Amino acid sequence: MIRHECLELLAPLITDHLVVTSQSGQRIEWSHLSKHEGNLLVGMMGCALGVGMGLALALPHRRVVVLESDGSILLSLFNLVTLANLHPQNLTVFVFDNQVYSGTRISEPTATAGKTDLEAMARGAGLEQAVTVRYLDGFRQEATAALTATKLCFIVCRVEESGIHREIPRPTVDLAENKYRFVRHVERTEGKPNPFVGRG
Amino acid sequence: MENGLAQKLVQALREAGINFITYLPETRLSQILPLLRADPSVQLVPVASEAEGITIAAGAVLGGKQAACYLESTGLYVSSYSLVTMGKQLGVPILLVVGFLGGFGDRRNSFLYATIGNRTIPHLKGLGIEYTVLEDGEKLSVKVKDAVRTMNALRAPVALLFAGEFTL
């Protein structure tokens, strides 16, 4: 199973969800596969899960989906303990673990290529519901359930490295543009203005 | 800090519209925590690192909250990456409520804190984060409102450094 296959399967299942992606190849692949206005393409490693937690706490009636990577999670491991203790019931986290830092021209192993097991770490942090999927059928089953669940879901997707993110067009929407589009989408769907925008 | 000053600070945050606060406990301003915990108008979120104090607050802001992050000034070093990326690069306003240890105005200053404290303001300047140092409770409500207005106008984090009477 590769990440792009999982995201292809996931994209049509997104409805009123708010989706936060970390900076990695999946940001490029997701922006290519999904034009959902509730996508927040975070352009930094180590930030998406924190942002997703904040969104989930601020909007407890909305399901928030975070698309993380192994490298990004490893950069902010404190997120696991905080997530376990805050335990927002409306958050679904997918960690696409391809065991590499896979940039535009690097492919260097992460700790998960060695001895580290993200599901075990998540469980140790207190996320007892953490699971690992290794095949597309398992991903389909877990993802479908997790998008409509009423509980916190944490799914490690053990994928093979692929270079698709190097071949498809990169997003042309810049960070600020994406932020405002996302915030306007939240305003529109929540029916109330965000305090920090629109004061000219 | 005297309990009356803590109450004044919490009241000022409330009046400025702050309704979501992430925090990593510290000593200087710690009297505000039980008051915030008892305030139903504020969502109080404990974190394990100031770095995620910023990212979680940023998510809440994008979801419509008016957020603050309460941290010790050492946490400004820990959270610098989050402040630059989520705060400055993405442009998300967050009020930084900072217990300013180790500065001139830290009434508990010692060799443990002074080296850290004397780099705090140069560090904020390096990050491009606007700040003001508060030594006492005079016009506190106005100053907190000014900071919130400024952060929203800048679409960036703004720091209130609490020293002097706040550090007692």
Amino acid identity at B9: L
CB B92 within 8 A of CB B41: no
Contacts of A159 (CB under 8 A, 6+ apart): A1, A2, A3, A6, A96, A97, A98
Q: What is the mean pLDDT of residues B40-54?
A: 98
* Rounded Cα–Cα distance for residues A3 and A103 (Å): 14
> Residue type at A112?
T
Q: What's the complex ipTM?
A: 0.97
* CA–CA gap between residue A19 and residue A92 (Å, rounded): 9
Per-residue confidence (pLDDT) for residue A127, from 0 to 100: 98
Q: A132 near A158, Cβ under 8 Å? A: yes
Residue A193 has what DSSP assignment? Answer: -
Chain A interface residues (partner B, CB cutoff 8 A): 18, 20, 40, 42-44, 46-47, 49-59, 76, 78-79, 81-82, 85-86, 175-176, 179, 182-183, 186-187, 190, 192-196, 199
Which residues of chain A make contact with B22, given a CB cutoff of 8 A? 54
**Closest CA relative to residue A82, chosen from A115, A44, A49:** A49
Contact in structure between A78 and A50 (CB atoms under 8 Å)? no
pLDDT band at A87 (very low <50, low <70, confident <90, very high): very high
Give residue B40's Cα distance to chain centre.
20
The CATH number that applies at residue B119 is: 3.40.50.970
Q: Do A54 and B82 touch (CB under 8 A)?
A: no
Q: What is the DSSP letter of A2?
A: B
User: What is the rounded distance in angstroms from the CA atom of residue B51 to the CA atom of residue A27?
Assistant: 21
Compute the distance between CA of residue B105 and CA of residue A32 in angstroms, rounded to an integer: 52
Which residues is B97 bridged to in the sheet? B70, B160
Give the separation between CA A78 and CA A74, rounded to whole angstroms.
9
Q: Give the best residue of B20, B21, B56, B82 to mutate against chain A (max A CB count within 10 A).
A: B56
B89-147 pLDDT, tens digit each: 999 999 999 999 999 999 999 999 999 999 999 999 999 999 999 999 999 999 999 99
Q: Considering its fold, how many domains does chain B have in total?
A: 1
CA dist., res. A143 & res. B23, Å (int): 32
How distant is the Cα of B138 from the closest Cα of chain A, in angstroms? 27
Nearest to A195 among B52, B59, B152 (CB): B152
Under 8 Å between Cβ of B29 and B99: yes
Please report which confidence band the pLDDT of residue A73 belongs to, taking 50, 70 and 90 as the band edges: very high
> Is the Cβ pair A199, B64 closer than 8 Å?
no
Q: Which amino acid is at A176?
A: A
The pLDDT of A15-43, averaged and rounded, is 94
**The amino acid at A24:** S
3-state SS, B83-100, equals HHHHHHHCCCCCEEEEEC
What CATH number should be reported for the domain whose range is A3-190?
Answer: 3.40.50.970
Average pLDDT over residues A93-100: 97
Q: Which strands make up the sheet holding B158-162, listed edge to edge? A: B43-46, B20-23, B67-72, B95-99, B158-162, B130-134
The overall average pLDDT reported for chain A is 95
- In the β-sheet with A153-158, what is the strand arrangement from edge to edge? A39-41, A18-21, A64-69, A91-97, A153-158, A131-133
Would you call B133 helix, strand, or coil by DSSP?
strand
Which range marks the domain in which residue B154 is found? Answer: 3-167
